[in-house]
Chain A
Amino acid sequence: VTTDMLSAAAAAATEADLGAARMQMALSLGWHIVIACFGVGMPAITLIAQWRGHRTGDPAYRLLARRWAKAMGVLFAVGAVSGTILSFEMGLLWPGLMGVYGEVIGLPFSLEGIAFFIEAIFLGIYLYAWDRLPPVQHMLSGIPIVVAGVASAFFVVTANAWMQQPTGFDAENGHIISVDPWAAMFNPATPSQTTHMIVAAFMVAGFGMASVYAVAMLRGRRDRYHRLGFLLPFTVAAVLSPLQVGVGDWAAHFVADNQPVKLAAMEGVFETERGVPLHIGGVAVDGQMRYGVEIPYGLSLLAHWDASAEITGLNEVPADERPPVNIVHWAFQIMVASGLALVALSASGAWAWWRRRDLPRSRWFLRAAALSGVGAALALEAGWVVTEVGRQPWIVYGVLRTSEAVNPAPGLVWGFVLVSVVYAVLTVASVYVLRRLARDKPVPVAPQERDVTDYTVV
């Protein structure tokens, strides 16, 4: 089916170009993923506010829905274009991957295309027809955005899951002989990885939105509007946080069973052993974990529910098939630590609410909540570093090396420099515009919602 053309690839890329391509992909993916989380989580949270406002007539909820929709418009636009760049980069940077395996992961991307189309169409309707549609119909127009957003996340992550657990195809000498696209899409890594990401998206959006209002409350703005603006997204994220611990455990077990080398890098296990301790902190130096706190049998217990379980060490694979231990180990530690901190924060909020139907009195709660958005995003990024760097040197686990997939054209370093500059500017502009939106009171003027327009916010 494919011709011999790809085997005729030009000379391999230099180390610098390969590094630049990886950094460029990491930058644009790492940037997009944060925005994408808001795209997945924010519509649902906004719709809840709008629905509450519609049911109760409470202008605070209605104003919140309006303002969140406005921010959503900006975030969605930026997410749409930063996501497009990724589909370019798949080919620009990794033609060796896409030229052969593009068809294997084509189905989930086709489905994602449809889902994204639905999202974009209904977002246009939802944002721009607020005052033309009757309220219920308008809220209904928001439902497809929620469904399609979650579906998009699912489809895209199945493609990444396939890179971890490539199934559903037969290849010979780098040529595809046959493909079962459904088997590729529903590969063994799909269930845990997609669930982990979708829950993470709602956590990033929820904690991120709540952070904005936590900051406002710390500055003394504690009226109903700000309290609701904090409580609603915070509740969504707080409910999901403990759940994410379970999902994360599921994902980690999967890695332990199916990508043992990645687990070895996550935990700095150099020699295959039984009853392996868990390392908290620590640095890998000369094939040994140093300066960390050891919890005896911890890793065997966590990974296999058995204190004497055997853990595969990095020694099982040749040196050129091992991922960099320190990056993966520390990224994993950061993800887990941030995640557990968010669980603790959620628990303290839940405790106070259960005892006396109010937020914790301590300012430390609000201070921590103000950082929760950053913490959630940090956990998200760190988690993706574990997933992606932990898979190295493979781009498709055990099948294709990253160095074989990269575009051999010279000068990728310059592309990376240019893209970095553009993203730096984009970041500054996005933060600036979103801060302005948070500070201004740009309520869309709708004559029938005079009570919302005139609603005073401290």
Chain B
Amino acid sequence: MPLPEIMLVVLWVGLTAYVLFGGADFGGGVWDLLAGGSERGRPQRALVEHSIGPVWEANHVWLIFVLVLMWTGIPSVFAAVMSTLYIPLTLVALGIIARGAAFAFRKVSTQLWQQRLFGAAFAFSSLVTPFFLGTVAGAIASRRVPPGVAAGDLVTSWVNPTSLVSGALAVLTAAYLAAVYLTRDAERRGDAELVEQFRRRALGAGIVVGVVSAVGVAVLAADTPELYAELTTGRALPFLMIAVLSGLVSLALLWRRAYVAVRLTAAVAVTGLLWGWGLGQYPDLLPGVSVTDAAATDAVLAASLGALGVGALLLVPSLWWLYATFQHERNG
């Protein structure tokens, strides 16, 4: 495979990891928002905090990874996307600040009013940030970001049917993944009531994600016919099929309370959607700009990919240790 394609695959792997791990952290915030009053919602909030506390910063690095790989590997595309979509991306950036800072502040706060204040900031930004990130994905997918610096429409590029659906889908997917992961976390802690609460939420969110995805495909048909054609009849179809099938299997597994297995199938379903989009759009990154047009020089790609390859040798065992440490916890 030529270097630009390898780079693109690595970029997409990073994006997938961010959605699966970082996305779920946002989803945790969404459930925090919906957990109810400070007394009633306490157990759920405690579980959310306990689950994402040790890992969210590491999960968050995937986003930085994606940004860096974009400006290194496809610099002109990075410039075009960031400059045309600077309104939603500025809001994403502020949401990220509010989310991370408020989460850390709440953790060390001892008084209820502080926990409420920081908790509200954490939860609200967890809802808003993935929405705007989703609109950005929709803008790129619907070919509304032309090449060039700030060459696209600053508003309609991300306020359009495809963007709005993908924004909603981003929030719902995050919430769905979080509910699925949290169900198992609650089970490991031996809290049957919490398990049931998150199982119900996972089932509900899963059904809503399915419905909105179907709506999304219909919107694509009208708004972004090129991608629609690839997804329904072209080379991206297998990925869409995988997504649909895994989504259905996930619902069945949740129903049968197989909480470990459903983590995998839910992740596969979301991965299917992401790679379906990627493959459906390939080789175009922006209208008229293919990956070969936009790719950096081979010297840069080789050096960066080489560095990432060596880095992976350090990162994979480290990440494994991180997750293993907190997934095998003592009871109590």
Contacts and interface: CB of A to CB of B under 8 A. Distances in A.
Interface of A: 1-3, 5-6, 8-10, 70, 73-74, 76-78, 80-85, 87-92, 95-96, 98-104, 106-107, 109-114, 116-118, 120-125, 127-129, 132, 144, 176, 178-182, 407-412, 415, 418-419, 422, 426, 429-430, 433, 436-437, 440, 442
A266 B109 CA distance: 45
A128 B68 CA distance: 28
Nearest to B329: A132
Contacts of B101: 77-78, 81, 426, 429-430
Given A121-B318, A426-B101, A181 B80 contact: no
20 contacts: A6-B76, A9-B149, A9-B151, A78-B104, A80-B61, A81-B99, A82-B97, A83-B64, A84-B93, A95-B83, A98-B75, A99-B78, A106-B68, A109-B71, A113-B311, A117-B61, A124-B55, A179-B296, A422-B98, A430-B105
Contacts of A81: 60, 96-97, 99-101
A91 to B, nearest CB: 3
Given A110-B308, A125-B322, A409-B154, A116 B148 contact: no
B64 A116 contact: yes
Contacts of A179: 296-297, 299-300
Contact of B307 (A83, A110, A117): A110
B82 A92 contact: yes
Given A1-B295, A116-B61, A121 B319 contact: yes
Given A10-B148, A103-B75, A106-B72, 13 more contacts: A73-B108, A74-B104, A74-B108, A80-B100, A87-B68, A95-B79, A102-B75, A107-B303, A116-B64, A125-B325, A179-B297, A181-B304, A436-B110
A128 B326 contact: yes
Contacts of A409: 83-84, 86, 150, 154
B319 A3 contact: no
Contacts of B81: 91
Contacts of B289: 3, 5
Interface of B: 53-55, 57-58, 60-61, 63-65, 67-69, 71-73, 75-76, 78-84, 86, 89-90, 92-94, 96-105, 107-110, 118, 147-151, 154, 289, 293-297, 299-300, 303-304, 307-308, 311, 314-315, 318-319, 321-322, 325-326, 329-330
A116 B68 CA distance: 12
Given A107-B307, A422-B97, A440-B110, A124 B54 contact: yes
B60 A120 contact: yes
A410 B87 CA distance: 11
Given A5-B148, A99-B79, A122 B97 contact: no
Contacts of A437: 108
Contacts of A407: 82-83, 86, 149-150
**Which 6 A/B pairs are nearest by Cβ-Cβ distance?**
A106-B72, A99-B79, A91-B82, A114-B311, A77-B104, A102-B75
Contact of A181 (B54, B154, B293, B299): B299
Given A95-B149, A114-B311, A418-B90, A106 B300 contact: yes
B330 to A, nearest CB: 7
A98 B78 contact: yes
Contacts of B103: 77
Given A9-B148, A128-B53, A433 B89 contact: no
Q: Is the contact region of chain B dominated by helix, strand, or loop, or is it mixed?
A: helix
Contact of B96 (A84, A125, A178): A84
A132 to B, nearest CB: 7
Contacts of B108: 70, 73-74, 433, 436-437, 442
A271 to B, nearest CB: 39
Most buried by A among B53, B104, B289, B293: B104
A430 B150 CA distance: 35
A183 B329 CA distance: 47
B83 A103 contact: no
A212 B315 CA distance: 35
Contacts of A123: 57
A110 B71 CA distance: 10
B80 A5 contact: yes
Contact of B297 (A1, A83, A84): A1
A214 to B, nearest CB: 23
Contacts of A6: 76, 79, 148-149
Most buried by B among A81, A88, A127: A81
B83 A129 contact: no
A415 B300 contact: no
A124 B21 CA distance: 15
A415 B64 contact: no
Contacts of B54: 124-125, 127-129
B83 A110 contact: no
A178 B294 contact: no
A178 B9 CA distance: 23
Contacts of A440: 110
B200 to A, nearest CB: 29
A419 B91 CA distance: 9
